[in-house]
Each structure stands twice: as structure tokens, then as C-alpha cells.
Amino acid sequence: MDISASKITTPFETLNPLPVPLCHAQCISYNEELLICGGTNSDCCYSYHIPSNQYKLICLYPNATLQGHCVVQLKNSPKHKNGITLLSFGGFHKHTLMMNYVSVWSNDSEREKIKDTCNIWLPFIDSENKAICIGKSSDNYEGARAVVDGNLLFITYYPNNISVFNLHTLQYVNQSTLPIQSENGTSYHCFVLKTCYGLESMARKHEMVLFCEETGLSIEYDEESNSFGIKPLHVCRDMRFLLRYAYVCINETILFFGGYRRCTRIRDVFKYAMHDNIWTKFERTLPIPLHGCAAIPNGDKTFVHILGGKNTRKRLMSTHTRTGVQEWLGEETPREKQWMAEEQEISQLRETKHEIEAMEHGFEVKKLKVELRQKEIKTVIEYWLRSLLLNFGWTDYFDIIIARYILTKYFKPLKEMHTQYANVSTVKFSSDGSKLVLSSGDGTVWICDIDSGKEIQVRKEYSRKVNGTIFSPDCLFFVSYSNDNTIQIFDAKSNKEIKKFQGHSETIRDVNFSPDGQTVVSCSDDKTIRLWDVKTETEIQILKGHSSCVTGVEFSLDGNMIVSQSIDGNIQLWERF
């Protein structure tokens, strides 16, 4: 049972530090460069040359105090073919500026010819040389996030607004609100294009994804009707209420780095797959906890660069690291898969909650002919909690589970099986759903065929009550356990006993197989949990940790953990090591 824990390394490469410490930097990827366009209280713009691992100053922001500004790349004008065009706007102190950038790593004589029109921030003007300001004076654009798709600029900003600005007509064409629940408002959040076409997309419909604390939204804008379509998206439990993280979108996958939650800086890395609507929390993490850092891919999207931010002491950092994209897009570890499975279950419960909340007239109890009051539902929940006492972060939705499966699922009688044996104590399905294995208080264990309803095998081996029985995962064996402190394994076809485990000193309360069927776990009133090797018929390990009778025990789906419950009021999780 004992195995060594895997060592998880952090796959980040340290690069030359930034010329100045930066927080909430705005970055654009261009060929072999990363353009770093200022940050909070820093008006310096630099180009980082990836091949040489060096920086060069581009320019300074003119008379602009930066705090939560936004920089996007625009389509180049015909006059500016040898570079890119950048638009900088917003922030707590609003500005709207444009830069035609030509590489500072190119020939000096070429740049000298265009020094008055390129690589400097200039006012954003229309065809009549009138300055254009993006954002009303009353709007709060600090921490605003924006994307460009075709000729449209989409801006999301505090407290829950979304605006559409036409970059061709230089006019707002839509200003709406979003159903966002956030104590801090819509700022320093995640906002990306759902399609991978970016600036080249000329579609009449535009798809975007937004995450802000506990809100996730799929947003579709229809140019023809000038309207938004909004659908909720699941936000994983560890991303809810997470603030000021770095994020990057690559091939419809969003990677999230760092952030802070409840004033605690974290180093976690998350992944959201748009196509499958699946979250992953990685075992690998940032080298140090950071918030307010920036994430930007290189030109061919093989690496993600992480720049600046603040550490746990709120100190501005000049760190610059990078990590390979494939490190985060490959197969997940067993622990990551387990986390994903739990998160999928939480997502399904939240979907059910939304379905129930959307009902206009509640559950229509009279129509379903079920008289189950809210108080009775809570009673069931409280009893269930007392018996389990295990919280994976979704106990708030137990009432939703019960409402869904009691009030909205329909069952009808299929078959009634009569037995001559008294006091049926347990009944369990085989994994293929074709048989039932039952036990009774008079010491009898028997197997029934579900289709025919007839008994297949009957055994009466015990002089005392049989506490339970269960099939092996492959249905070839079944196990029974009794008040005589023994565990017996029988061949399901021949009905012969093939194994017998003895070791518990008091009544056995629960027995289960590992997913591969090679190990049996049992628990007892003797306060212990025991592991048995089915093949060698030997006791592998005794687990001690409860102070009273252990009443339930089970393997996790991957077989790497065991959970046990006891009347001492505690739940124990046991991990392979």
C-alpha cells in the first residue's frame, strides 16, 4: 500500500529581470519581441528581445499617470506596413493614445527616418485631427479589459459594463450591462476572444469569455441585431473570489497564474478549456506567490512569459520567467484528474441550482403528487451530514441534490422480489447491473438474477448476523462480513469460499474493494482500518487514527485514497505514500 509521493517540479525558467519593477503591466507580442507598455505608476515602455534576452527602452508615456490602463493591438494602416499599431486607453486616470511601433532592434537608419511618427505615444485622432477619447468622464476604466475583433473594440469595465466601440467610425455602437456578481466590480478580470481568429475575424457574430470572481460568462455579440447573448459558465471553486491574476489565451485554452484571495497571494496555476468547459488546477505552481503579474505568449505561442507583479510583502517585483506551453496542455497527473472529477460534480450541482431557480412556480409539488416540505428536506440533509461529515466545498447544494432527485426524477415499480429470509440487512448491485447480492440477519448470503428475479446462489455460513456483502469490481467474487469478526470471499459461480480474512477483534462494520479488485479494505468496532491483499490472502496494513468505532470505509475512484468515518465525529482521509 505504501508508495513514494511524486515530486512536482516548477517548470519555469528565470530570464533577465525587468529594467524596472512593474505591476499590472500591459504587454503585446510582436514577432521576436514582447512590448511592455507601462504599469501601475510606471510610464516606461520597453521592448524585450526574446533571442538575446535583452531590453531596450521604446519611449515614455507623455503626461500620463498609469493605474489599471489597457493596451490592445489594432489593424495596421496602409501607411504603416513595417510594424504594428497600438492603442492605449483607460485606467484610473483616463487617457487615449496611439503608437505606431517599429522594432527598436531594427536598423538605426531606418528608424531615424520615422522617428517623429513612430515609437511615441500620440493622441488618438480622427480624420479631421480631432482627439478621440475612449470612455466617458463618469466611467471607471481602472482595470478595464478589452479585445479587438475585426473593426470592433469590446471593453468590459467597472462595475458590470460592456461597451462596443467601432474603430472604423470611431463611435460607440452599444453600451450594456452584464449579469456579474462581484463585491469588487468588473476590474482586473479575465476577458478573451473565444475564437482564435483575433484581428483577422470579420464575422458578424463575435464570441467572448469573461471570468470575474464567482461569475463566468460566455458572451456573443450579433452585429446585425446589435445585441448580446449571455450564457453562464462554471467557475471552479478555487478561482471564485480570486483577484488580479495573470491570464493568457492559447488555442481556446486559458491559463491563469497567481492572484490573491482574501489578502493572501497565491502561486497556483489553473487551466480552463473553452471547448469542453473543464477546469484544471495544477500541482505545479509559480516559483513564488504573485499577484498583478502579466502573462504574454511569444509570437509562435510556444512559451508564456510571466512579468513583474507583487509578492507576499506587496513589494513590486522585476522578475521575468517563462514556461513552455506544452507543460500545461499535456496529460494531467492522477491528483489533478481527481480534482477535475470533483470539480465536474460541483459544476453539475450548480447547473441544477440554476435550473431550479429558473422555475417560475417552484417545484410544482402538487403536480408531482409529492408532499415534501422544505423543513423535511432540511431534516434529510442534516441527517445525511451527521452521517458523513465530509465537505468537498459543495454542501450548500445538498438541498439541490435532494430536490432534483426526489422532486424531478420519476421511478416506477419494475419488479418485486420475495424472500424467505428474515431481516435483509444489505443489498448491492453487481457492477454490470445484472445481479443483486443480499445478506440477512440470520446469517444468509444469496445472489439474485435481476431479469428472472430468481435466486442463483444461497449460502448460510454464519451463526451470527451478516452485516454486509458486496461484489468485486469484475463480478467474479463477492465478499461478506459478520459480527464474528471475519471477512469471507466467495467465487460467484461455484459459490465456494476461496479466501478468509481474520484480524479484527470486534464487529466488522464495512468492507469495500479497491477499483482494481486487488485489495480489500475493512473497518471495525475495534477502531482500526485494515487492508488485505486478495491474491496472497495477507494483511497489508493496519490504519489507526479514530478514537471510536469506525463505521464506514471506501476507496477513491483512482484507488490512491481511502476515506473513513467514525462515531467519534471525524472523517479521515488516508493517502498512498
> 537-569 pLDDT, tens per residue?
899 999 999 999 999 999 998 889 999 999 988
Judge whether residue 31 has pLDDT over 60.
Answer: yes
Q: What is the DSSP letter of 75?
A: P
pLDDT at residue 371 in the model: 42
Instruction: Enumerate the domain spans of the chain.
Output: 13-335, 359-411, 424-575
Beta strands in 407-558 (DSSP E): 424-429, 435-440, 444-449, 455-460, 466-471, 477-482, 486-491, 497-502, 508-513, 519-524, 528-533, 538-544, 550-555
Q: How far is it, in rounded angstroms, from Cα 48 to Cα 155?
A: 27
Is pLDDT of 432 > 70? yes
How many of the other CB atoms lie within 10 Å of CB of 560? 17
Question: CA 357, 400, 185, 221 torsion: positive or negative?
Answer: negative
User: What pLDDT shows up at residue 426?
Assistant: 82
β-pairing, 435-440 vs 33-39, is unpaired
Phi and psi at 374, nearest 5°, equal -60, -35
Specify the CATH architecture of the domain 13-335.
6 Propeller (2.120)
Q: What is the CATH code for 424-575?
A: 2.130.10.10
What is the per-residue pLDDT across 89-130, written as a single tens digit (0 to 9) for each?
Answer: 999 999 999 999 999 998 766 666 666 789 999 999 998 999
* 424-575 shares the fold of 13-335: no
Task: Please provide residue 338's backbone torsions phi and psi, each rounded to the nearest 5 degrees.
Answer: -65, -40
Residue with C-alpha cell 409529492?
Answer: 370
Q: Return the closest-CA partner of residue 26 out of 68, 58, 60, 56.
A: 68
Cis peptide, bond prior to residue 159, ω within 30 of zero: yes
- How far apart, in whole angstroms, are the C-alpha atoms of residue 566 and residue 509? 10
Q: Which residue has the higher pLDDT, 495 or 131?
A: 131
Please tell me the pTM assigned to this model: 0.64
How far apart CA 537 and CA 494 sit, in angstroms, is 19
pLDDT interval class at 420 (50, 70, 90): low
Distance CA 475, CA 452 (A): 18
- Convert the pLDDT of each residue in 276-316 to its tens digit: 999 999 999 999 999 999 999 999 999 999 999 999 888 99
What gap in Å lies between CA 552 and CA 166, rounded to an integer?
63
Angle among Cα 555, 559, 563 to the nearest 5 degrees reads: 30
